Amino acid sequence: MYTQMKKLFSYITLVAAGAFLLTACKKQYDTNATFTTTDGTTFIRFIHAAPSFRQVFSQRDSFNIFVNNAKINGTFLTYGGTFPSSSNYGYVSVPSGLQQIKLSVAGVVNPDSIQIVNFTKIFQADQKYTVMITDNVANTNDSAKIIIPDTYTKPLVGNYLLRFVHAVWNDTTGKTIDIYSTRMNRLIGTNLKPGAITNFITLPYNSQLNDTLYIRRFGTTFNLATLNGASFSNQRAYTMYYRGDGDLTTGTKARGISTYVHE
């Protein structure tokens, strides 16, 4: 009987010790473990606005986009393209906080084996951004890529918002541009250099009138690019950007004007 009680006591002691060890280990794990958390997600739009990408990087100018080593696009993003392309004001959702963005092109064996650009950026939670890939994308400055927070307040009824981006990096050195509106009969942007991003301006909406917009050399009436029949909707926000090769007047990569609308 004594022997059995001794064995039982030893067994209980062993179980208790094991439980204590597991508890101690759990407490140690909880104390030492570290996690990276985010308060929300970020919404990003990517635009390929790099006409000389092939010459700058000596690689094809169609590429894939990776966020934290996960490819987010379907087909290659080509010049003039936008991702996501499901709508003209769409965004892709990614984690907020410090994120790695990588661009890669196809290799001989692996379709994503050649890394072209790799950079990190802190994206704020619940914020929308446009990442405009330019010929200067390898530059460390946000204004060179171009990374733009899409922050604005919805305009009042009878108005729309418009901002401007100068994305032609091979523009004539030391020269800047103006933006002229025929409907307004005045300049609505002036003296912008490559990489410039203006604030949104409020303009009156008119459903009966379209606009013709000109990119002009600063201080002159010399037109570099024209956007005919520009139409803007009531209470919407738009970004207009000067893009392409500043030395070309014809072809798919010639200098020109594009716009996109925000939600």
**Residue 40 structure tokens:** 């929300």
**Residue 8 structure tokens:** 């039982």
For the whole model, what pTM was predicted? 0.80
pLDDT in tens, 181-199: 999 999 999 999 999 999 9
Residue 217 has what pLDDT? 97
User: In CATH, what number does 152-263 get?
Assistant: 2.60.40
Which residue, 138, 129, 139, 133, is CA-closest to 167? Answer: 133
CA atoms within 13 A on the CB side of 138: 9
Secondary-structure class of domain 37-150 per CATH: mainly beta
Do the domains 37-150 and 152-263 sit in the same CATH topology, yes or no? yes
If 0-12 CB within 10 Å is exposed, 13-18 middle and 19+ buried, where does residue 260 land?
A: middle
Determine phi and psi for 101, rounding to 5 degrees. -115, 130
Q: At 8, is the secondary structure helix, strand, or coil? A: helix
On whether the CB atoms of residues 152 and 188 are closer than 8 A, the answer is no
| 76-91: average pLDDT | 83
pLDDT in tens, 136-169: 887 766 666 789 999 999 999 999 999 999 999 8
Cα-only R_g, the chain = 27
Domain boundaries, the chain: 37-150, 152-263
